Amino acid sequence: MNSRAIAELVFHLGRIASGEGLVEGLTAAQWAVLRYFAQANRFSRTPSAFAAFHATTRGTASQTIKSLETQGYLTRMRSEDDRRSVQLVLTEKARGILANDPFESLVRAADSLPPNIQGQFANALQRMLGQVAQERGKQPFGTCTSCQHLESDSCSRDEQASYACRFTREPLRLEELDGVCINFVPGKSMTMKGSITGAAQR
C-alpha cells in the first residue's frame, strides 16, 4: 500500500468515527468536547487546552463548551491544587451518555486488533501525528507514560511506584498517567526518579 492510500485511510477513519448528525441530541463537535474533558488530566481541562487539542479557535471552542454547560453536561470547578484556576469537568449527566459516543465504534475496532498489532499501530500513528503536528506548528498531545516530564522511582508501571511531573512539579497518581495533557513532550517512556537531567531528551 502506498503512502497516499494510508493517509486517505487514516483521514477517512477519523471522519466517519467522529459521527454525523445528532446522537443523544449532541453534534459531532459537542461529542468531541465531552470526549476531550473525559480524558484530559487536571492540567488540561480548560477551553484553551481543548482548542489547542482540537486545532480549533478559542472562540469556536468556547461556544461549543458554553452550549454544553447550558445543557448541563459540563460544569466549572475550582482546582484543588490551585484555587485560583478553574477546571471544566463532566457532570453525571454527561458521564451517563458517554457509552453512546459514536466514536466508541472506533474504540471497538481498535480493541479487536491483536495486542502486538495494537502496539505497532499506536507507535506508527504517534509518529505520523508528531510529524504532521511539527509541520503544521501544532502542539502534540499525549499522556504521561510517553512524556519526557514523567518521573518515576520504577521502570515499570506498578502500583508501588510513585510518580511526579517535572514540568508542573506536582506528584501524579497512578490513575492520572493516562490523562491527555497539554504540557506533554513526546519521546520518552518511564524514567527513574532522579535520573533525569535538566536537558530535554528526544
Q: Which residues bind ligand SF4 (CB under 6 A)?
A: 41, 43, 143-144, 147, 149-150, 165, 167-168, 181, 183-184
**43, 172 in Cβ contact below 8 A?**
no
Nearer to ligand SF4 (CB atom), residue 64 or residue 183: 183
Instruction: Give the bridge partners for 165, in sequence order.
Output: 150, 170
Distance CA 8, CA 179 (A): 28
Put residue 3 in one of left, alpha, beta given phi > 0 → left and psi -120 to 50 → alpha. Answer: alpha
Nearer to ligand SF4 (CB atom), residue 26 or residue 181: 181
Nearer to ligand SF4 (CB atom), residue 63 or residue 195: 195
Provide, rounded to whole angstroms, the least separation between the CB of residue 147 and ligand SF4: 3
Nearer to ligand SF4 (CB atom), residue 30 or residue 152: 152
**151, 193 in Cβ contact below 8 A?**
yes
**125, 106 in Cβ contact below 8 A?**
no
Instruction: Give the bridge partners for 163, in sequence order.
Output: 152, 172
For cell 491544587, the residue is 81
